[in-house]
Amino acid sequence: MKDLDTNVLSVISPRPAESYKGNYGRVLTIGGNENFGGAIIMSTSAAVHAGAGLVTCATAPANLTALHSTVPEAMFVDYTDNEAVNNVLKSTTAIVLGPGLGTDETSKKIIANVFANVSEEQYLIIDGSAITLLAQEKDLQANLPQAHIIFTPHEMEWQRLSGIKIAQQTETANRVQQEKLGATVILKKHHTEIYAPNAETFRLPLGGPYMSTGGMGDTLTGIIAAFMGQFAKTNPQKALQAAVYTHSAIADQLSENAYVVLPTDIIGHLQKFMQEHSHENYRTKIGFN
Ligand SMILES: NC(=O)C1=CN([C@@H]2O[C@H](COP(=O)(O)OP(=O)(O)OC[C@H]3O[C@@H](n4cnc5c(N)ncnc54)[C@H](OP(=O)(O)O)[C@@H]3O)[C@@H](O)[C@H]2O)[C@@H](O)CC1
Ligand SMILES: Nc1ncnc2c1ncn2[C@@H]1O[C@H](COP(=O)(O)OP(=O)(O)O)[C@@H](O)[C@H]1O
Ligand SMILES: [Mg+2]
């Protein structure tokens, strides 16, 4: 297992002047039932603040006002309206499926619709309730779609999906189950681990208990989607690693002056962090550092 280092942030590059929102990724976030609206709003807001060009949130209509008052940059569709969801899905670069989605029949139908309509070149980030539901629904799990799938389980979600008890989640055991899934697995924990197909395992040497607040993983999903939408064209592995690294690097910085770092604090610092790194990367590129 190899530690990620700050070099992964080199994917955060200055933007070409001749460009528009369509060049920076279209993200669709799907989740947030009547009780867990905050989860999908944090994911959506993180995607917007991490630079995704166009973001749409498919959620329960009850969350519309909260969504728009938190992040008016995002568009809305009713997550039970398959036709509306599929219309957005068609032109989407990265999809987040699951934060706050819940595990009832409605959630199951939403997942089945996404699986039937996602395409091979799209990134599909599966998180939270969608992981728990997949673990229960073997038929859905056995029919994972052709897409770049990235699972983002915490240890209990990984136990449900992989069958490996938390105490037995070793690199070797995790790798076997990740290969069976044929997808990337980001196992979130203290020192998160990244299992990607045909790649060595990476470990995140950052982050700490000041991150242990509900919504922290939901926020990570939006950052991943935005990074895949912007930086994956040249190096998808590195874009993903950079998203995971950025999330905890901001938390570490903020923890110098805060007992707990909230998910929304991280969202609020994404723009500054990314600008600093894009400047630094530009200076390195022109030989100024
Ligand atoms: N503001 C919102 O709308 C929010 C909405 N959210 C949404 O809620 C949905 C459910 O997600 P969830 O993670 O809250 O619950 P679940 O999947 O049942 O897992 C908890 C169980 O696993 C256990 N456990 C063991 N190890 C663990 C570990 N390392 N990390 C975490 N848990 C661990 C744990 O053990 P215990 O705490 O009981 O000791 C407990 O038994 C999901 O869609 C999510 O997006 C949340 O993001 C919060 C903010
Ligand atoms: N003690 C810790 N050390 C490092 N990272 C942590 C710690 N506690 C939580 N985190 C991070 O916070 C996030 C929690 O994700 P998750 O449990 O899915 O949260 P939620 O579903 O509430 O949004 C993960 O990225 C995890 O790595
Ligand atoms: Mg979670």
In angstroms, what is the span from residue 39 Cα to ligand 3's centroid? 8
CB of 170 within 6 A of ligand 2: the answer is: no
Q: Is 172 annotated as a binding residue?
A: no
Residue 27 lies in a domain: yes
Residue 61 lies in a domain: yes
Nearest atom within ligand 2 for CA of residue 152:
18
The pLDDT value recorded for residue 289 is: 60
Residue 131 lies in a domain: yes
The pLDDT value recorded for residue 139 is: 87
Residue 3 lies in a domain: no
CATH of the domain at 247: 3.40.1190.20
The pLDDT value recorded for residue 288 is: 72
Closest-lying ligand to the alpha carbon of 129?
A: 1
In terms of residue numbers, what domain contains 182? 21-285
Residue 16 lies in a domain: no
The 10s digit of each residue's pLDDT in 199-211 is 999 999 999 999 9
Which residues have their alpha-adjacent CB atom under 5 A from ion ligand 3?
Answer: 128, 217
Residue 142 lies in a domain: yes
Of 188, 191, 267, best ligand 2 pocket probe by most atoms within 8 Å of the beta carbon: 188
Atom 16 of ligand 2, nearest CA residue: 217
Nearest atom within ligand 1 for CA of residue 41:
3
Residue 7 lies in a domain: no
Distance of alpha carbon 174 from the chain centroid: 20
In angstroms, what is the span from residue 192 Cα to ligand 2's centroid? 9
pTM equals 0.98
The pLDDT value recorded for residue 136 is: 96
For each successive 10 residues of the chain (289 residues), what is the average pLDDT?
96 95 98 98 98 98 98 98 98 98 97 97 98 94 94 98 98 97 97 97 98 98 98 95 98 98 98 92 71
Number of domains observed in the structure of the chain: 1
Residue 193 lies in a domain: yes
CB of 188 within 6 A of ligand 1: the answer is: no
- Answer whether 50's CB lies under 8 Å from 232's CB: no
The pLDDT value recorded for residue 218 is: 98
CB of 66 within 6 A of ligand 1: the answer is: no
- Answer whether 88's CB lies under 8 Å from 29's CB: no
